[in-house]
Amino acid sequence: MTENSSDTEFSEEEREQIGDFETLYSKDEFAGKFWTEFKDFVTGLPKASILVMGGSGAGKSTLVNLVFNSEVARSGEGRPVTQGIDEYQNDLVHIYDSQGYEFGAENQREYEKLIMEFLDRHEREGNPVDVCWYCISAPGARVVETDINMISRLNSLGKPVAAVLTQVDQATEDQCAGLKSEILSRTTLRSDAMFESTTDFGIALPRGTDELYEWTRDRLPESRRASFMGAARRDMDRKSADVDSFLLKYAATAFGIGAAPIPVPSAAALIPLQMKMLSEIAVRWNVLSMEQTMGTLLTQMVTTTVGRTVAASLLKLIPGAGQLVGGIINGSVAGAVTYGVGKAFNYGCYQLQKSQLDGSNFNFDDFLKNEFVQMALKMAMSFKDKKK
């Protein structure tokens, strides 16, 4: 018995084809090559830039963690990019945290200058700041001239700026209402750009960090949105739907590659496409740091099971798909395999994030080892049904 009992279902001739497939997919250098390419893919991704402002101790780092719903900002982890502005280490977003200003007219003028120069430089260098979050501490109970000036100046530059009243659990409702109306009356800020935040999850806020996340997402250029969403542990249904829609594009491209029927031994033509697809999915769900997990997937993809089982089973199972006699993969098979692999990987990533959020038990490695192949196959078959 081999490790895969479904092997017994294949004829001699088919097994020969499978053997070819395996040889191709097991090139040792392949996993390493993919890993390098994957890293380059992540490095080259367009990333959103967010500048966080506000007084010292206003709760800027805490706000960042609340919006991304994970420990993105850890104290002391910032890398100084310029005097007074740190960048948090993150593969998917640029988060610039300005060290809060101290009180006093001179300090505040310096702060305004620092911010304006920073924005200007990034604009000139072609990596503009996309969105600004301006924190004002609610229990601090005061809005200073710098807050008023900065919010209006950013607005006049056309920079999306959100004002966030932070630490609202430490202030009275009247205090919060007073601060909000002062900000709205003295700046050009629109009321839909006014938010509140708290670490007390018992307090329901009509415009809290969930809404700030959505507001920010919707103000990003399309190209920088995917990685921003990937960095945030939330918005799962939308991420999944986004993946679904691009999977269809990959399937169509694969269909095109297979349209001039390719012999199974040349099916490796599909690999770069599938790898790019998997990279895109990995970014959406931020499984980038999971080198080992990706390694498991690759071992699956490259050396054994997915490659040969999916392809070989499809050879058998898709009726009328050119019959694949003589080991030919045609467009339908290429499209279905690609779709199935993407769909199964997306499912696993979704379950992983869900378990991180609700504390439920899901082992991604086990999923990849034990269920991934069957699911990819099932999804590939459903793709064929779907197209009927």
Min dist CB 76 to ligand GTP, Å, is 10
Q: Which residues contact 213 (CB under 8 A, 6 or more apart)?
A: 67, 232, 234, 235
Contact between 172 and ligand GTP per CB under 6 A: no
How big is the CA angle at 136 (ends 133 and 139), to the nearest 5 degrees? 150
The nearer residue to Mg ion, 60 or 180, going by C-beta atoms, is: 60
Contact between 199 and ligand GTP per CB under 6 A: yes
Lay out the site mask for ligand GTP across 97-116 (x = CB under 6 A, - = otherwise): ---x----------------
Contact between 169 and ligand GTP per CB under 6 A: yes
Question: What is the three-class DSSP state of 51?
Answer: strand
The nearer residue to ligand GTP, 23 or 56, going by C-beta atoms, is: 56
Separation CA 47–CA 57 (nearest Å)? 27
Min dist CB 388 to Mg ion, Å, is 56
Instruction: Choose among ligand GTP, Mg ion, none what residue 198 binds, the Cβ cut-off being 5 to 8 Å by kind.
Output: ligand GTP
Min dist CB 104 to ligand GTP, Å, is 16
Task: Provide the residue type at 78 as one letter.
Answer: G
Q: Per-residue b/e over 27-50, b at no fewer than 16 CB within 10 Å? A: eeebbeebeeebeebbeebebbbb
Task: Kindly give the residue spans of alpha helices, DSSP state H, lying in the chain.
Answer: 12-25, 29-43, 60-68, 105-124, 145-156, 173-186, 209-219, 222-231, 236-259, 271-284, 291-298, 305, 311-317, 331-358, 364-366, 372-386
The nearer residue to ligand GTP, 60 or 239, going by C-beta atoms, is: 60
Contact between 61 and Mg ion per CB under 5 A: yes
What residue has token string 């070989």? Answer: 312
With CB under 6 A as the contact rule, which of the stretches 5-13, 167-175, 288-296, 298-306 interacts with ligand GTP? 167-175
Separation CA 228–CA 238 (nearest Å)? 13
Contact between 62 and Mg ion per CB under 5 A: no
Contact between 258 and ligand GTP per CB under 6 A: no
Binding site for ligand GTP (CB under 6 A): 56-62, 100, 166-167, 169-170, 197-199
Residues within the interface to Mg ion (CB under 5 A): 60-61
